[in-house]
Each structure stands twice: as structure tokens, then as C-alpha cells.
Amino acid sequence: MGSAELKLSLDDLTGKAHRLPQERPSLICFVKEDCETCNTAAPVLEALHGAYGSEMAVLLVAQSGEANAVFADRHGLTMPVLDDTACTAAFEWDIESVPSVFWLDAEGKIERQFEGFVRTDWETLTADLATASALPAAQIDWSSLPAWRPGCGSKHLDPSVFDKLQAEAEGSPIRARRIEVAPSDDVAEFMFDQGFSDGLPLVPPTPERVMRMLGGTHRDPQEVVATVPPNMGEATIEKIAINAVMAGCKPEYLPVVIAAVEAACTDEFNIHGVTATTMGAAPVMIVNGPIRERIGMNKGLAALGSGNRANATIGRALRLVVRNVGGATTGGVERSVLGNPMKYTMCFAENEERSPWPALHVERGFAAEDSVVTLFAMTGGPVHIVDQTSRAPEQIAGSLGLGLEGVFLPKLRNLPVDALLVVCPEHIDTLMREGPYSKERLRDRIQEVTMRPLSDMVQNEDCGAGIPPEKAAEMGPEALAQRVPKFAGTEYIHIVVAGSDAGKFSSAFHGWATGSVGSIAVSKKIDLG
């Protein structure tokens, strides 16, 4: 602390206020009731109070709540015992352990400071106090006291206490508007009533929780990451952290959430359109790279389902940012006809280790050692593609293709629409049975098996979707005989690997409008500092 002036403003156990600096020197000692060394020091401090209290303030600063009075009674203390149960003074004075002793001059500057119980330190202090006050030395039986005893950690260093103090301290990085909840209110119900929730209970974003969450990134809490439509709210690191807390994230997940917000709020991804469409689109998030293992993401058994905190809460945090920062609330801008369970969350890690192909992020131009998040706008899925009997590569590839015919509607063909195919490990094994089988070959096979004549797309009595009969008449039989695949190009077929080793069930996500009129998949490198 150097020569800085120390200040104090606490009440003693009788409710009397004590302020420092005073117009006379002060001897201050921080203690807590359950510290053995503090109990060793207490009689010495009482003796110093009795000997020098007429010339200086001798004050005990105690951290133990109701046990402060127990401590005072135990040692018959007559000196003022100040209540620092909230540990604000310990935080401001940067106490590391108790007992922690300060001898201050009349201006509050430190004359001497030490911690724990080293008998020679206390003997020297006692002699110096006698000299400074011109009073007889305190009568203390030093031989009955231990030569050395270490102190205990200050209560304020407990993470739950420290984070709250840091969050409330002057200079705290937290700038978001604080909402006071009445003591009689149920916090969970209050957050429902305020419209913060996606329909599930939220974790209250207390200052200490937000501070802990901010510890997951090196970035400035007030840095603006993105402007979130439709209300064009500024998504600062702090606001993203608040929503990550509410979603149930751990601090180590925060960089992934930040990257997802950056990706979602690009013009290419078009989160406004994804949110507002009546078709019910939602972001599907895939995470690649070393971060998967570091934060414990699920890439195997039930990767697309429940049970994994990282998968579930990262996806949910993105949706809460869009809701609470961007203002995209259901019934407001969000007008899905049926809605979509993926609007709660849909996030998983690619099973790169089980894949024979380059990982998704490598395909998209990143280094294998990069950690990357990729967002797709999807309206349906995951939809199972079941094939438990195919044994040849072309058979299983054909089944995967036929499984994608349901995108939008089996009748609709030549679609410029994204599809995300999640291939399970057992289907991978079948594909590779006779040697390497590339993604490019699989995409071509999907297009091959889904080839149908344009005449199948004409509206009829069974289905009113497709080519109007009058247009079909203009096209003529020769044109209608032309065969077209499901997708307008292989670039619309995105392929990743996930899932456990047992079970021949792959899955597909069906896309929304693709390109400039809809949403383009976006990948962002995760900033891990």
C-alpha cells in the first residue's frame, strides 16, 4: 500500500460509528472469530488498548457477523470491535490474511504493518507504541505466547465474496443498468415477469456472477461486439456475459458465445431475417477445434440432444442475446407460425476425431488448430435418416441422399437451399468400407439419387406445390422430362460428423432461404486471447 492514506467507516457492535483517519494515531487489526491466530492476538490487542488507548485509537475490525460478539465476549474486549461482515474494509485495504495489523499516523499513513503472529513483531510494536505515546510499556507475558503462528485467509478472498465486492467497487467494469428486486419477490418469477426468459428459468445475473463470467475473456467489458437487430441494441462483452450467466454458462464458455454473437449479427447471416421469418428458422451452431475438449462439449453420444451443459447453454446464450439485447421476442418481431425447439438452443461439437474428412472449419478456410464457431440458419431437424442394413458405400450414400428429399417438401427440386447432414460414425464406417470416400463424392451421390423429372414437380390433385400447370404446358413434354437433383448445387450440402459409435442413424437439418435473400452460413474464429 505504500504511504497511501487509509480510510475506514464502520460501526462497532453498539452501533457507534468510527471513522479514519482521526486526529490521532490508530492501531487497527483485522480478525475473524474462527481463526486460531486471531484468538492468540486478541488478548495482546486488548492489553495494547488498555496501555495506549488514551493516546491512540485501538480498533478491532471483525469479519464474522454475529460471531463478532462471541469473539469480543470470549476475550473480554473493551476496545471497539467494528463490524466488517460485508468485508468492504478488508477489500479496500487489500487484506490477504488475518490477523493483519496496521499502525497509522494521524493522517492515516502507515507507520508499520504485519500479518499473522510473529512474537518479535508484536514485541517491537509494543515498545515503539510506548515510545511514541510516552506511556509505560504494556504488561504482556510474552513467554506464554508462541514464537510464530501463521494467519488465516481473509474472508473477503472467498470467490463468492470477492467477486461481489469487486463488482460493486468503484471502477468496476460492470456498467449495465441494475434492477433492484424486492426482498419479498421471487427472483426467478421476477425475471419471467420482466420478459427476460425464453420460457425456461434463468440464473439470476448478480454482479458477482457477471464478474466471474467476464473472467472468461481478456476483452474489455465495454467493447461493442455487434449491433443486434431488430432494435439495433449494442451487444457489449458485458451484456453478452449477462445473458451467458442467465443461460447457465460457465466463464470458459464465454469466448464461444461472443464469437457466435459476432457471426449471427453479420449481414451475411442475417439474424433479423432468421428471427422474423414465419417459417421458424433458428441458428444451428457447430463448434470445431481444441476448444471442444477444453470446455467439455459433446460431440459423441446424444451430441444433438440434451445432457451436456456446454452444448445446451452456449446455444441458449446466443438466443438470449438476440432476445434481450436485440429485442426479438416471440409475438413481437419473432412471428414463427409453429415455432421451433431449436429456438431454445442448438449447439454441438463436430466429432473431428471420428471423421475421415477435413473438419468443417478447415473446409471453410481455417487452420486445424483454430477454434471456430459456424452458424447455419435451419428450419427443421434434426431429422433422422435410418439405414441399418446397407453394407456398400454407394448404398449408404444413396440412403443419405434420399433422406434429404424431405427438405421443404419431397416434391420440390433444384432448391438453392442449405442442408446440414450430420453423418454418424457407423455410416462413416460403411462409406469407407472399400477405401476413401470423399465429401465431394458423397455430395455428388446425393444429387444423383435425388434426380427426378421436372414433371414430378408439376402441381396436381395430390399436391398443389410446385410448377403451375399452365407453366408446365408452356414448357412442353421434352423440358418436363429433364431430370433435376434435389439441390441447385453441391455447395448447398454441408456435411459434418457427430454421434456415438453404436447406431446407424444419421440426421439432417433443413435450411431456410439461402443467399442474399436469406441467410449464408458464417464462421468466426474464437478469440481465446
Tens digits of per-residue pLDDT, 139-158?
Answer: 999 999 999 999 999 999 88
Q: Which residues lie closer than 8 Å to 464 by C-beta, 6 or more apart?
A: none
Same domain, 297 and 418: yes
| Angle of helix 159-168 versus helix 207-214 axis, rounded to 10 | 100
Q: Does residue 507 sit in helix, strand or coil?
A: strand
Same domain, 200 and 146: no
Q: How confident is the model at residue 2 (pLDDT cuts 50, 70, 90)?
A: very low
DSSP structural state of residue 144: G
Could you report the per-residue pLDDT of 421-456, keeping only the tens digit for each? 999 999 999 999 999 999 999 999 999 999 999 999
Strand spans (E) along 354-449:
372-386, 417-423
26-31 vs 110-115, strand pairing mode: unpaired
Query: In the chain, how many domains are there?
Result: 2
Least confident of 70-84, 159-173, 407-421: 159-173
When pLDDT is averaged across residues 352-373 and rounded to a whole number, the result is 98
When pLDDT is averaged across residues 9-36 and rounded to a whole number, the result is 93
Give the pLDDT confidence score for residue 23 in this predicted structure: 83
For residue 431, being part of any structural domain is answered with: yes
| Maximal CA-CA distance, the chain | 119
Same domain, 139 and 228: no
For residue 70, being part of any structural domain is answered with: yes
Same domain, 317 and 441: yes
Least confident of 42-51, 323-332, 476-485, 489-498: 323-332
Q: For the chain, how many residues are written?
A: 529
Same domain, 201 and 278: yes
Give the pLDDT confidence score for residue 410 in this predicted structure: 93
Give the pLDDT confidence score for residue 170 in this predicted structure: 61
Same domain, 440 and 309: yes
Same domain, 231 and 356: yes
Q: Cell triple for residue 47?
A: 492489553
Could you report the per-residue pLDDT of 476-494, keeping only the tens digit for each? 999 999 999 999 999 999 9
Q: Is the pLDDT of residue 164 over 80?
A: no
Could you report the per-residue pLDDT of 281-305, keeping only the tens digit for each? 999 999 999 999 999 999 999 999 9
Give the pLDDT confidence score for residue 166 in this predicted structure: 77
Q: How confident is the model at residue 220 (pLDDT cuts 50, 70, 90)?
A: very high
pLDDT averaged over the chain? Answer: 94
When pLDDT is averaged across residues 82-99 and rounded to a whole number, the result is 94
DSSP structural state of residue 430: H
Q: Does residue 317 sit in helix, strand or coil?
A: helix
For residue 464, being part of any structural domain is answered with: no
For residue 359, being part of any structural domain is answered with: yes
For residue 459, being part of any structural domain is answered with: no
Host H or E run for residue 496: strand 493-497
Host H or E run for residue 60: strand 57-62
**Percentage of the chain lying above the pLDDT 70 cut:** 99
For residue 455, being part of any structural domain is answered with: no
**Chain position carrying cell 481465446:** 528
The closest alpha carbon to 45, from 55, 25, 33, 60, belongs to 60
Q: Is the pLDDT of residue 94 over 60?
A: yes
Q: Does residue 297 sit in helix, strand or coil?
A: coil
Backbone φ, ψ for residue 117 (5° rounding): -130, 95
Same domain, 23 and 79: yes
Give the pLDDT confidence score for residue 475 in this predicted structure: 95
Conformation bin of residue 323: beta by default, left when phi > 0, alpha when psi is -120 to 50: alpha
Q: How confident is the model at residue 4 (pLDDT cuts 50, 70, 90)?
A: low
Q: How far is CA 49 from CA 106, 138, 407, in A?
A: 17, 9, 83
Query: What is the C-alpha separation between 116 and 120, in angstroms, rounded?
Result: 12
Single-letter code of the amino acid located at 397: A
DSSP of 72-137, one letter per residue?
HHHTT--S-EEE-TT-HHHHHTT--EESEEEEE-TTS-EEEEEESEEHHHHHHHHHHHHHHHT-PP
When pLDDT is averaged across residues 83-102 and rounded to a whole number, the result is 94
When pLDDT is averaged across residues 151-179 and rounded to a whole number, the result is 80
The closest alpha carbon to 272, from 324, 230, 238, belongs to 230
When pLDDT is averaged across residues 450-477 and rounded to a whole number, the result is 96
Q: Is the pLDDT of residue 278 over 60?
A: yes
Single-letter code of the amino acid located at 170: E
Q: Which residues lie closer than 8 Å to 15 by C-beta, 6 or more apart?
A: none
Query: What is the C-alpha separation between 499 and 351, in angstroms, rounded?
Result: 7
Same domain, 265 and 124: no
Q: Is the pLDDT of residue 3 over 50?
A: no
Q: Cell triple for residue 175?
A: 456498467
Same domain, 331 and 266: yes
The CATH number linked to 32 is 3.40.30.10
Same domain, 236 and 290: yes
When pLDDT is averaged across residues 385-410 and rounded to a whole number, the result is 97
For residue 477, being part of any structural domain is answered with: no
Q: Identify whether the C-beta of residue 295 lies closer than 8 Å to the C-beta of residue 330.
A: no
When pLDDT is averaged across residues 257-272 and rounded to a whole number, the result is 97
Domain housing 44 = 8-157
Q: What angle do CA 396, 399, 403 make, to 5 degrees?
A: 140
Q: How confident is the model at residue 181 (pLDDT cuts 50, 70, 90)?
A: confident
Q: Which residues lie closer than 8 Å to 99 by C-beta, 6 or more apart?
A: 29, 30, 31, 35, 37, 38, 41, 115, 116, 117, 151
Structure-model confidence comparison of residues 432 and 21, the more confident one: 432
Same domain, 294 and 404: yes
Query: What is the C-alpha separation between 382 and 510, in angstroms, rounded?
Result: 8
Q: What is the 3-state secondary structure (H, E, C) of 326-372?
A: CCCCECCCECCCCCCHHHCCCEEECCHHHCCCCCHHHHCCCCCCCCE
**Chain position carrying cell 479496500:** 92
Measure CA 107 to chain center: 45
Handedness of CA 431, 436, 442, 445 (dihedral sign): negative
For residue 174, being part of any structural domain is answered with: no
Q: What angle do CA 376, 379, 385 make, to 5 degrees?
A: 90
Q: Identify whether the C-beta of residue 29 lies closer than 8 Å to the C-beta of residue 62.
A: no
Q: Does residue 176 sit in helix, strand or coil?
A: coil
Query: What is the C-alpha separation between 430 and 297, in angstroms, rounded?
Result: 26
